[in-house]
């Protein structure tokens, strides 16, 4: 019968080239298999708890009644003292000084910060406004 002879017959030309391709791809993959690269090294975490300082005023060493000029002078003094280029152990302290100056330098942010200090919100929580306000 004709279908019995089909198993003994040669495969069509397109399947032979496909089989050759698959065999060469499998051989090249098995020869080129390398171990995976090592995982990247974890970055050191500089976890700085900015809420542990009593206030930005104490961080800069100025009273809450200090003027903008006094705040700027205190920031510049502390920046020179704790800058990482001069003091390699001052990275955390410099981050605190920068955060304090970023808040106290802007009159609007300083007013908001003073309000939050006055009502006990030193954790950086923003005030929520309601529709009734």
Residue 72 maps to a domain: yes
- Pairwise CA distance, residues 105 & 52, whole Å: 21
In a domain, 41, yes or no: no
Total domains in the chain come to 1
Measured between alpha carbons, how far is 56 from 117 in angstroms, rounded to an integer?
10
Q: 35: buried, middle or exposed (CB in 10 Å: 19+, 13-18, 0-12)?
A: exposed
Residue 103 within any structural domain of the chain: yes
CA 107 from chain centre, in angstroms, equals 28
Residue 14 covered by a domain:
no
The whole domain housing 88 covers: 56-118
Q: What CATH number does the domain containing 102 carry? A: 1.10.287.110
**Rg (alpha carbons) of the chain, rounded to whole number:** 34
Q: How far apart are CA 87 and CA 36, in angstroms?
A: 40
Asked if residue 40 is part of any domain, the answer here is: no
3-state SS assignment for residue 65: coil
Domain-located, residue 80: yes
Residue closest to 108 by CA, chosen among 68, 81, 49, 52: 68
What would the pLDDT profile of 12-71 be if each residue is shown by its tens digit?
666 778 888 888 887 777 656 677 778 888 766 655 454 554 688 989 999 888 999 999
For 67-88, what is each residue's pLDDT tens digit?
A: 999 999 999 999 998 888 888 8
Instruction: Tell me the C-alpha distance between 56 and 36, whole Å.
Output: 48
Structural domain includes residue 39: no
- Identify whether 99 is part of a domain: yes
pTM over 0.85: no
């Amino acid at each position: 019968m004709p279908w019995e002879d089909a198993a003994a017959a040669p495969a069509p030309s397109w399947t032979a080239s496909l089989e050759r391709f698959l065999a060469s791809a499998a051989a090249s993959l098995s020869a080129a298999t390398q171990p995976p690269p090592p995982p990247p090294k974890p970055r050191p975490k500089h976890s700085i708890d900015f809420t542990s300082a009593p206030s930005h005023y104490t961080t800069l060493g100025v009273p809450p009644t200090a003027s903008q000029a006094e705040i700027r002078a205190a920031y510049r003094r502390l920046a020179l003292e704790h800058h990482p280029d001069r003091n390699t152990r001052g990275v955390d302290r410099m981050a605190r000084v920068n955060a304090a100056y970023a808040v106290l330098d802007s009159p609007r942010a300083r007013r908001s910060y003073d309000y939050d200090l006055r009502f006990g919100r030193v954790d950086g929580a923003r005030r929520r406004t309601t529709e009734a306000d």
